[in-house]
Amino acid sequence: MRIDILTIFPGMFAPLTESIMKRATEAGHVQIVVTDLRDFALNKHRSVDDYPYGGGPGMIMQAEPFFLAVEYLQKQTASAGKVLLMSPLGERFSQQKAAMLAKEQHLILLCGHYEGIDERVRALVDEEISIGDFILTGGEIPAMVVADAVVRLLPGVLPQEAVADESFVHGLLEYPQYTRPAEFRGMKVPEVLLSGDHEKIREWRRKQSLLLTLTHRPDLLQQANLSDSERQLLLDEAAKRKIELLL
């Protein structure tokens, strides 16, 4: 996969050269190219923003640099790519969306900044992505979130078993995890995890996943694939805790 990122602050993307992202790049699973949008400005000051028509606060990023940059990348790579705009108007980003994007061969992520972008930029865009209902200074952090979530799902980046039981993969939060020592400051690892009985461990993990989801994200349970016994367990537990639950 190739991920192109268009931004006026390329230095913000240093985290994408560390940890799993670094290993994925070195192994050839992904190529991440960060391009300075100012390279496509058509003025001596390399300015890519201007005052909004009609007045108002802040500066608006111009359409032309985005068009020139995207067209250049598409020509350079001989690929239209999937063009994504980081935007509060977009679809809420999720694990399911990350998995869908991981099937693409080429992503082009557009990062707005300042007060916003010229509306005409949207003519370039295939999809808009939001990472939540809050305001950031620009699209750079959302672009990093999307890139990180997508790259770790690419084949070969992580062992398959490492991502198979993660939170949200099956519509539930992940079960609690422990490592050595077996006891720390009076806090013990649950005995079942030390038993070596894989079926009991599997059952314990499933139950804990259900209960954690009930506690922290009961909204997820409406879409989860539950057995009759699991549904009854949750309803009983919700009644005890006085949690309103619709299953």
Average pLDDT score over residue span 131-150: 96
**CB-based contact 36:61 (threshold 8 Å):** no
**CB-based contact 147:5 (threshold 8 Å):** yes
- What is the Cα–Cα distance from 193 to 200, expressed in whole angstroms? 8
Q: Which pTM value belongs to this model?
A: 0.89
The two tokens of residue 159 are 């062992």
Residue 44 scores a pLDDT above 80: yes
Q: Which domains does the chain have, with CATH numbers?
A: 2-160 (3.40.1280.10), 183-241 (1.10.1270.20)
Phi, psi of 139 (to 5 degrees): -90, 5
Question: 64 or 115: which carries more pLDDT confidence?
Answer: 64
- What is the Cα–Cα distance from 4 to 83, expressed in whole angstroms? 9
pLDDT number for residue 171: 83
- What is the Cα–Cα distance from 149 to 157, expressed in whole angstroms? 12
Average pLDDT score over residue span 185-208: 97
pLDDT in tens, 30-43: 999 999 999 999 89
- What is the Cα–Cα distance from 174 to 165, expressed in whole angstroms? 7
On the 0-12 / 13-18 / 19+ scale of CB atoms within 10 A, 205 is middle
Roughly what angle, to the nearest 10 degrees, separates helices 228-241 and 198-216? 50
Residue 164 scores a pLDDT above 70: no
The proportion of the chain whose per-residue pLDDT surpasses 90, expressed as a percent, equals 91
